[in-house]
Chains A and B, each alone.
Chain A
């Protein structure tokens, strides 16, 4: 629900034209992601390449570097369209953050050594990892793992398996979902319920 309201308020500050443009671009990105549509990409390209070129020329003052930024940014859009998340902002904001990352790396290109950190590691916007940021149920770190291990046995089997995979084997919720063949949402709710149960057990025994 939160995501929906966030989106409304974001869109609320936009004009109708902007909203139409954003909806159109979002539809094109979906078309690219699902059908690898070259026609849809060509249209996105026509919409954004000139804007990116103008942005990059101002940033670099160098036409060739500017063209490199346009090409690298749009190449990412072509291959990573499936990573666009409509609830996190407009398509142009997403493309802008990709361009920002490319700019960060291009500005460091001359000084860069092989293992130096890159923009994608600093802003993991194009990460395939589905690491969500809603960590409202993060484990209370003051509780040592050793201390709670003997409470595991009291959890229902389905919840215990999830907790062990996440907190002992260090798997992500997505990986647990894949491994067990259970939807991600179910894994999340099992995690939440299990942690709640564990906390109750610990408090009761204190």
Chain B
């Protein structure tokens, strides 16, 4: 049973597309694993769609003319299906004699997972290359591993893909999503089980326009 979820404000920003790529990946992977949040996301999609598309408020200075429409239709019919060769999703991850099944969004981005390197203290790390400005890593903690106490410059989001780890506050299992702000210090560690997590240090993009700023009462938590 997943007990630690992204807040509703974060889910709104996920749906509207206002989170950074890294945060979108971590939240999206949680949603793959969490039926409750998947349902919430469906509801938010419908709500945002109603507010943005269904309720047509025409503010375009000139709405599309008939010739513009015809021109665009012609261009669309003339276009070829752009099947950008996307990378084959790969659900399987092998590491240290363990095999993990990656949730959907992560599986679709498995080609972005870099080389694993061993860190101190029973820890392994593989970077994910998404875009500039974010550090996103898969982190594997063997049983009995400990990350030294640390604070963060930006928000840190951590998602448990498989296993159990704990810090001073609580214990986290498969699918748990943990968001830490810079003021918190914590010491993640594993006990008898190992743990694979996806973690990102986020520098959220700041949009001056955009629907989530109007809708999301929590945005001050994420845009600072």
Contacts and interface: CB of A to CB of B under 8 A. Distances in A.
Contacts of B39: 6
Contacts of A46: 69
A48 interface: yes
Contact of A170 (B61, B91, B109, B211): B91
B1 interface: no
A75 B75 CA distance: 9
B4 interface: no
Contact of B45 (A71, A96, A146): A96
A97 B45 contact: yes
A100 B12 CA distance: 12
A151 interface: no
A61 B209 contact: yes
B15 A100 contact: yes
Interface in B177-224: 193, 207, 209-211
A196 B77 CA distance: 49
B75 A52 contact: no
Contacts of A142: 193
B61 A63 contact: yes
B169 interface: no
Interface in B152-194: 162, 193
A50 B59 contact: no
A74 B38 contact: no
Nearest to B70: A42
Q: Main SS of chain A's interface residues?
A: helix
B76 interface: yes
B55 to A, nearest CB: 9
A122 B97 contact: no
A18 B101 CA distance: 40
Interface in A48-92: 48-55, 57-61, 63, 66-67, 70-71, 74-75, 78-80, 88-90, 92
A191 to B, nearest CB: 13
Interface in B48-82: 48-49, 52-54, 56-64, 68-69, 72-73, 75-77, 79, 81-82
A53 B63 contact: yes
Contacts of A146: 97
B92 interface: yes
Nearest to B24: A122
A129 to B, nearest CB: 6
B3 to A, nearest CB: 19
A88 B64 CA distance: 30
B199 to A, nearest CB: 17
Interface residues of A, number: 72
Contact of B73 (A45, A53, A57): A45
B194 to A, nearest CB: 10
A10 B45 CA distance: 11
Contact of A103 (B17, B56, B60, B105): B17
A96 B16 CA distance: 10
Interface string A121-162: 111100101010100001101101110000000000000000
A90 B46 contact: yes
A114 B48 CA distance: 31
Contact of A116 (B15, B105, B130): B130
A100 B72 contact: no
B21 interface: yes
A109 interface: no
Contacts of B72: 45, 49, 67, 70-71, 74
Given A49-B69, A122-B24, 17 more contacts: A53-B60, A58-B59, A59-B209, A61-B209, A67-B68, A71-B72, A71-B75, A74-B76, A80-B81, A96-B48, A111-B132, A116-B130, A116-B132, A117-B131, A122-B21, A127-B89, A129-B89
Interface of A: 6, 10, 13, 18, 38, 41-42, 45-46, 48-55, 57-61, 63, 66-67, 70-71, 74-75, 78-80, 88-90, 92-93, 95-97, 99-101, 103-104, 107-108, 111-113, 115-117, 119-124, 127, 129, 131, 133, 138-139, 141-142, 144-146, 170, 172
